[in-house]
């Protein structure tokens, strides 16, 4: 029977409702650059991918005078302003982390850069739950490459096969599968049919809780007909790595 020692969370679209705010930040920068709605970018194609991937395509289309690093910084700074102002952590996410933390090592593996991750994890004191934080900034390859999930597993000291990933994007699901990990996909950003390669597809954090949080001692795990939960690791309270 499959058992997990660690749960690895994507950030954008899983921890924080940032996908529409990424788009808003890009649109504001495009407008300031003078492109308005003539930017030629189809934003759904970039869900789960990095800012760099989008900007490289934009540069290929338009050849703007600004260098890539300047464009990256402008959009990142705008996004941080929006997130800081709106604090859009998904309802139910902090409570889920509280319930998972006694049973698993937790990590973040995100396509966002560390300054954005740090800003998000400062909200509602979420950083205290995570033993490791990985960014595609650390590994150089973006999802659907598996590198960021493999890096998170190494930071945790947990084999890939004993990690379960929480994702919201098709690219993230593909990356986790390529890393040899099982995936729970939540429909925060995409419909179910675009997440079909995930191990489980859910519509709420309560469903993730039912899949991953063990029942209290002496209580039956699931009522008849319910979706079976993933079994947890034999050790109920794994040794936590110090916060990074």
Q: How confident is the model at residue 224 (pLDDT cuts 50, 70, 90)?
A: very low
- Which residues are paired to 140 by β-bridges? none
pLDDT in tens, 184-214: 999 999 999 999 999 999 999 999 999 999 8
Q: What is the mean pLDDT of the chain?
A: 89
Tokens read off for 151: 């890096």
> pLDDT > 90: what percent of the chain?
79
pLDDT score of 147 more than 50: yes
pLDDT of residue 36: 86
Is the peptide bond between 221 and the residue preceding it cis, with omega within 30 degrees of 0?
A: no
pLDDT score of 172 more than 70: yes
Q: DSSP labels for 213-232? A: SPPPTTS-SS-TTSPPPPPB
pLDDT of residue 229: 55
Helix (H, G, I), strand (E, B) or coil at 89: strand
Q: How far, in Å, CA of 227 to CA of 79, rounded?
A: 37
- Which residues are paired to 12 by β-bridges? 16
Superfamily of domain 6-17+88-212, CATH level 4: HAD superfamily/HAD-like (3.40.50.1000)
* CB atoms near residue 200 (< 10 Å): 18
Catalytic residues: 10, 12
Tokens read off for 221: 């795990």
Place of tokens 């899949």: 211
* Ramachandran class of 227: left when φ > 0, alpha when ψ lies in -120 to 50, beta otherwise: beta
Q: Which residues of 120-151 are buried (b: 16+ CB within 10 A; e: fewer)?
A: bbebeebbebbbbbbbbbebeebbbbbbbbbb
Q: How confident is the model at residue 51 (pLDDT cuts 50, 70, 90)?
A: confident
pLDDT in tens, 103-135: 999 999 999 999 999 999 999 999 999 999 999
């Amino acid at each position: 029977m499959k058992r997990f020692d660690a749960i690895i969370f994507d950030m954008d679209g899983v921890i924080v409702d940032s996908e529409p705010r990424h788009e808003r930040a890009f649109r504001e920068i495009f407008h300031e650059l003078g492109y308005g709605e003539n930017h030629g970018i189809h934003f759904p194609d970039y869900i789960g991918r990095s800012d760099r991937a989008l900007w490289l395509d934009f540069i290929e289309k338009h050849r703007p005078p600004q260098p890539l690093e300047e464009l990256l910084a402008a959009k990142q700074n705008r996004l941080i302003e929006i997130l800081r102002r709106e604090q859009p952590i998904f309802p139910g996410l902090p409570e889920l982390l509280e319930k998972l933390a006694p049973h698993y090592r937790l990590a973040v593996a995100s396509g966002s850069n560390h300054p954005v991750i740090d800003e998000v994890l400062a909200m509602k004191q979420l950083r205290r739950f995570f033993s490791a934080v990985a960014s595609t900034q650390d590994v150089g390859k973006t999802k659907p490459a598996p590198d960021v999930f493999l890096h998170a597993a190494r930071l945790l000291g947990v084999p890939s096969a004993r990690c379960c990933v929480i994702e919201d994007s098709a690219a993230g699901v593909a990356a986790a599968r390529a890393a040899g990990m099982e995936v729970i996909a939540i429909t925060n950003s995409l419909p179910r049919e675009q997440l079909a390669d995930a191990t489980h597809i859910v519509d709420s954090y309560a469903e993730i809780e039912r899949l991953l949080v063990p029942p209290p001692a002496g209580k039956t795990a699931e009522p008849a007909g319910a979706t079976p939960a993933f079994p947890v690791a034999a050790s109920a309270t794994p040794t936590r790595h110090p916060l990074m």
